[in-house]
Amino acid sequence: MSLAFLRTHPFRPRLIADLRGYGRARLAQDLGAGLTVGIVALPLAMAFAIASGVKPEQGLFTAIIAGLIISALGGSSVQIGGPAGAFIVVVYGIVERYGLANLLIATSLAGVLLFLMGWLRLGALVRYIPVSIVIGFTNGIAVLIGLSQAKDLLGLQIDKLPADFFSQLATLGRHLHSFNPWAFALGLACLAVVVVWPKSYTMPTQPATWRDHARRWASRVPGTVVALVGATVVARLLSLPVETISSRFGGIPQTLPTFTLPEFTWTTAKQLLMPTLTIALLGAIESLLCARVADQMSGRPRHDPNQELMAQGVANLVTPFFGGIPATGTIARTVTNVRAGATSPVAGVVHALTLLLVVLAAAPLAEHVPLAALAGILLFVAWNMGEWREFARLRHFLLPYRTVLLGTFVLTVVFDLTVAVEMGLLGACAFFIWRMGSLFRVSALPAEGLPPGAAVFELYGSLFFGAVGPMEALPAQVPEGTRTVVLEMSKLISMDTSGLDALESLHTELDRRGVALVLASVNAQPLGLMRRAGFETRLGPEAIVPGVDALRATPPTPAASGSPPAEWVGPGAGRH
Give the whole-angstrom CA distance, residue 314 versus residue 111: 6
Alpha helix (H) ranges present in 363-416? 371-385, 389-392, 399-414
pLDDT at 192: 94
Closest CA to 381 of 85, 52, 57, 14: 85
pLDDT over threshold 60, residue 553: no
Buried/exposed code over 402-440 (b: 16+ C-beta within 10 A; e: otherwise): bbbbebbbebbbeebbbebbebbbebbeebeeeeebeeb
Give the whole-angstrom CA distance, residue 150 versus residue 482: 74
pLDDT at 336: 87
Q: Which pLDDT tens digit goes with each residue over 180-201?
A: 999 999 999 999 999 988 776 6
pLDDT at 381: 87
What is the arithmetic mean of pLDDT over 329-349? 90
The residue ranking higher by pLDDT, 229 or 222, is 229
Interstrand relation of 516-520 and 544-545 (parallel, antiparallel or unpaired):
parallel
Specify which of 131-135, 259-263, 345-349 reaches the highest per-range mean pLDDT. 345-349
Closest CA to 387 of 134, 125, 204, 92: 134
CB 44 within 8 A of CB 377: yes
Give the whole-angstrom CA distance, residue 226 versus residue 340: 18
Interstrand relation of 328-329 and 81-82 (parallel, antiparallel or unpaired):
antiparallel
Buried/exposed code over 229-239 (b: 16+ C-beta within 10 A; e: otherwise): eebbebbeeee
CB 306 within 8 A of CB 123: yes
Closest CA to 279 of 290, 267, 287: 287
pLDDT at 202: 65
The packing angle between helices 131-148 and 165-174, to 10°, is: 20
Instruction: Choose the weakest-confidence range: 121-135, 310-324, 379-393, 485-499.
Output: 121-135
Q: Is 501 helix (H, G, I), strand (E, B) or coil?
A: helix
Q: Which pLDDT tens digit goes with each residue over 427-482?
A: 999 999 999 999 999 999 988 878 788 899 999 999 999 999 999 999 999 998 89
Closest CA to 276 of 419, 137, 417, 111: 111
State the Cα torsion 321-323-326-332 to the nearest 10°.
Answer: -130
pLDDT at 251: 78
Confidence tier at 554 by pLDDT (50, 70, 90): low
CB 468 within 8 A of CB 503: no
Phi, psi at residue 456, to the nearest 5°?
-115, 130
Give the whole-angstrom CA distance, residue 285 versus residue 296: 17
Query: Which neighbouring-strand residues pair with 295?
Result: none
Closest CA to 449 of 570, 572, 274: 570
Give me the half-sphere count of Cα atoms (radius 13 Å) on the Cβ side of residue 154.
16
Percent of the chain whose predicted confidence (pLDDT) is above 70? 93
Give the whole-angstrom CA distance, residue 280 versus residue 110: 5
What is the arithmetic mean of pLDDT over 524-540? 92
What is the arithmetic mean of pLDDT over 239-249? 90
DSSP characters over 468-488: -HHHHHHHHHSPTT--EEEEE
Give the whole-angstrom CA distance, residue 83 versus residue 64: 10
Give the whole-angstrom CA distance, residue 121 versus residue 489: 36
The residue ranking higher by pLDDT, 551 or 509, is 509
CA distances from 85 to 45, 159, 176, 258, 282 (A): 9, 22, 26, 25, 11
Q: Which one-letter DSSP state was computed for residue 195?
A: H
pLDDT at 558: 42
Q: Which pLDDT tens digit goes with each residue over 288-312?
A: 888 888 888 877 788 999 999 999 9
pLDDT at 1: 40
pLDDT over threshold 60, residue 215: yes
CB 201 within 8 A of CB 219: yes
CB 348 within 8 A of CB 117: no
Q: Which helix (H) or strand (E) holds 516?
A: strand 516-520
Give me the half-sphere count of Cα atoms (radius 13 Å) on the Cβ side of residue 40.
30
What is the arithmetic mean of pLDDT over 147-174? 90
The residue ranking higher by pLDDT, 126 or 30, is 30
Give the whole-angstrom CA distance, residue 110 versus residue 108: 5
